[in-house]
Amino acid sequence: MYGQHQYVVHADPASVVADLNTEPVRDHEPEVTEIIEMPASSTESWAVASTLGDLHDQICTCMQCPLGHTRTNFVFGSGNPNADIMVIGEAPGADEDEQGLPFVGRAGQLLTKILEAVSLSRDEVYICNILKCRPPNNRKPLAGETDQCEPYLWKQIELVQPKLILALGLTAANTLLKNKESMTNLRGKIHDYHGIRTLVTYHPAALLRNPEWKKFTWDDVKHLRNLYDAS
Ligand code: URA
Ligand code: URA
């Protein structure tokens, strides 16, 4: 099954299959529930949107937090609306704010390569962020911003119904999983996010600063690929 895929990082398919077959046994495989119900606020009109397009149109003028006043573009998300894999980052940066699309700057280009390394295209997955608007100078999201914005993400997850989530970086992971664990503790495990199996890896921007961590992310996306192929 794995042999059908072209793993572009390794030239020799035999070594790829060998690598994948020596994947360590993971902690636990949580039970996946049939219906994913996110705690979306039922009083808001966007909460009953039935498509991503509707949701986008209802929230793209959001002014619920101060980032609405400084953004150039609302960065909703991109990719396959029925994706089995949802990739979730932190917040738009300058390039994303400029273009209105997630992960299109330097970190985004690295993300594209990371996905391609396990034969995933950006169009096959769905890519978005915890925050839809750029924080000034790319500072970390504030708690109030996350509290306002995260219900939009819950609604996106409810509409896409992914089987797997890949959280990019500690901010995304700690926000989704509601913990303060370190990257070292979070990587290499399958987390249960409202019944969706969730993996955590380094943010591609962190990999640009620390290329020696790329080998860990390579392991993490191979794990993601294995779960995807088995799902
Ligand atoms: N970093 C993120 O977390 N998200 C983007 O969309 C771009 C950079
Ligand atoms: N430290 C970072 O700077 N980024 C990560 O993604 C994890 C640890």
Quote the mean pLDDT of the chain. Answer: 87
In ligand 1, which atom is closest to the CA atom of 95? Answer: 7
Identify the pLDDT of residue 16: 30
pLDDT above 60: residue 20? no
More confident residue, 229 or 20: 229
Q: How confident is the model at residue 8 (pLDDT cuts 50, 70, 90)?
A: very low
User: Which protein residue has the closest C-alpha to ligand 2 atom 4?
Assistant: 206
Ligand 2 within 6 A of CB of 183: yes
CA distances from 145 to 64, 90, 108, 115, 162 (A): 8, 12, 22, 29, 24
Average pLDDT over residues 18-23: 37
Tell how strand 191-193 and strand 196-201 pair up: antiparallel
97, 203, 207, 208: which to mutate for ligand 1, most atoms within 8 A of CB?
Answer: 203
pLDDT above 70: residue 6? no
Q: How confident is the model at residue 42 (pLDDT cuts 50, 70, 90)?
A: low
The one-character DSSP state at 172 is H
Considering only 15-29, 57-71, 107-121, 183-197, which range has the smallest mean pLDDT?
A: 15-29
Identify the pLDDT of residue 197: 98
Identify the pLDDT of residue 18: 35
Note the pTM of the prediction, 2 decimals: 0.82
CATH homologous superfamily of 50-230 equals Uracil-DNA glycosylase-like domain (3.40.470.10)
In ligand 2, which atom is closest to the CA atom of 202? Answer: 6
Residue 81 CA, ligand 1 centroid: distance in Å: 19
Identify the pLDDT of residue 75: 98
Backbone angles phi, psi at 126, to 5 degrees: -115, 130
Ligand 2 within 6 A of CB of 60: no
Q: Write out pLDDT tens, residues 145-156.
A: 999 999 999 999
Q: Write out pLDDT tens, residues 51-106.
A: 999 999 999 999 999 999 999 999 999 999 999 999 999 999 999 999 999 999 99
Q: Write out pLDDT tens, residues 115-169.
A: 999 999 999 999 999 999 999 999 999 999 999 999 999 999 999 999 999 999 9
User: Which protein residue has the closest C-alpha to ligand 2 atom 8?
Assistant: 183
Q: How confident is the model at residue 43 (pLDDT cuts 50, 70, 90)?
A: confident
* Contact by Cβ (8 Å): 71, 80: no
Q: How confident is the model at residue 44 (pLDDT cuts 50, 70, 90)?
A: confident
Identify the pLDDT of residue 121: 98
Nearest ligand by distance to the CA of 103 = 1
CA–CA distance, 134 with 94 (Å, rounded to integer)? 7
Ligand 1 within 6 A of CB of 107: yes
Residue 205 CA, ligand 2 centroid: distance in Å: 9
Nearest ligand by distance to the CA of 90 = 1
* Contact by Cβ (8 Å): 15, 218: no
CA–CA distance, 130 with 176 (Å, rounded to integer)? 8
Ligand 1 within 6 A of CB of 89: yes
